[in-house]
């Protein structure tokens, strides 16, 4: 295999940033070494998480910390604004593996107040290639435009769209063939929608949990 030439980082800021990553890892290695439970040796052999987390790529919403879980307990997929797009092969692959191989029992779609992706989708500004992704959120706005347009405060408007977006992404998730087939096969599987308050750390249940396809409507629910 060809050897990759090590680039000498002359930029001081880049060098410090990279050194911090290595230093952080050394501290983590020290923690792993001192752990007496044997869980890391166990994790090295395989994983058996009960939760699939579909969250925003935002750096402020880490799945493990928000759910009080440890490495090995949450299977994670994150993208801009926690979207479930039916043709997204990355999401579908994660979902298929989580449901059919790992047999997760709880799936959480987690949005968060102050989501930049949601805020951007409410504006008419062009941001570049991301605009095509944000169009999926604009679709949610279009579905609920009467309610969203009736809110005057820009922050409250964006917050409400965050909540409605979570509802719609939960629905999108439940309509996938993967989730519906799991239910059809009698697999115990709950899909939840939650919104994170970054300031308080609260994970707010949106009350849109699905455990079967009965309320998906006749067009979406497979027989
Ligand atoms: Zn976000």
Q: Could you state, in order of their start, the residue ranges of all structural domains in the chain?
A: 53-205
SS3 184: helix
Cα 118 to ligand 1 centroid, rounded to whole Å = 7
pLDDT at 19: 95
Q: Does domain 53-205 have CATH number 3.30.450.40?
A: no
35 CA → ligand 1 middle, Å: 34
Q: What is the DSSP string of 18-37?
A: HHHHHHHHHHHHHHHHH--S
Q: What is the pLDDT of residue 125?
A: 96
| pTM of the complete model | 0.94
Positions annotated as catalytic residues are 56, 58, 60, 112, 115
Using the mean position of ligand 1's atoms as its centre, give its distance from the Cα of residue 152 in Å.
Answer: 22
Which residue matches tokens 């009736």?
150
User: What is the reported pLDDT for 2?
Assistant: 67
Tell me which residue of 128, 122, 194, 127 sits closest to 154, measured CA to CA.
Answer: 122
Query: What integer pLDDT is reported at residue 7 of this predicted model?
Result: 65
Task: Kindly give the distance from the C-alpha atom of residue 203 to the centroid of ligand 1, in angstroms, as a whole number.
Answer: 14
Strands 51-56 and 74-79: parallel
| Sites in the chain below the pLDDT cut of 50 | none
């Amino acid at each position: 295999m060809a050897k990759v030439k090590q680039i000498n980082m002359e930029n001081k800021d880049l060098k410090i940033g990279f050194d911090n990553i290595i230093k952080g890892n050394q501290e983590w290695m020290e923690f792993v070494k001192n752990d007496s439970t044997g869980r890391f040796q166990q994790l090295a052999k395989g994983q058996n998480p009960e939760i699939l987390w579909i969250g925003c790529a935002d750096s402020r919403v880490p799945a493990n910390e928000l759910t009080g879980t440890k490495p090995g307990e949450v299977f994670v997929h994150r993208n801009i604004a926690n979207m479930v797009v039916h043709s997204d092969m990355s999401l579908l692959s994660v979902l298929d593996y989580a449901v059919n191989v790992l047999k997760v029992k709880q799936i959480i779609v987690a949005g968060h107040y102050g989501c930049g992706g949601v805020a951007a989708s409410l504006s008419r500004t062009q941001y570049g290639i991301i605009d095509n992704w944000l169009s999926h959120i604009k679709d949610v706005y279009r579905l609920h435009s009467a309610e969203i347009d009736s809110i005057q405060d820009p922050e409250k408007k964006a917050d409400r769209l965050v909540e409605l977006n979570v509802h719609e992404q939960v629905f999108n998730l439940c309509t996938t063939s993967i989730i519906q087939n799991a239910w059809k096969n009698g697999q115990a599987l709950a899909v939840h929608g939650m919104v994170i308050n970054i300031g308080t750390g609260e994970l707010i249940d949106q009350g849109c949990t699905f455990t079967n396809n009965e309320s998906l409507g006749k067009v979406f629910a497979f027989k």
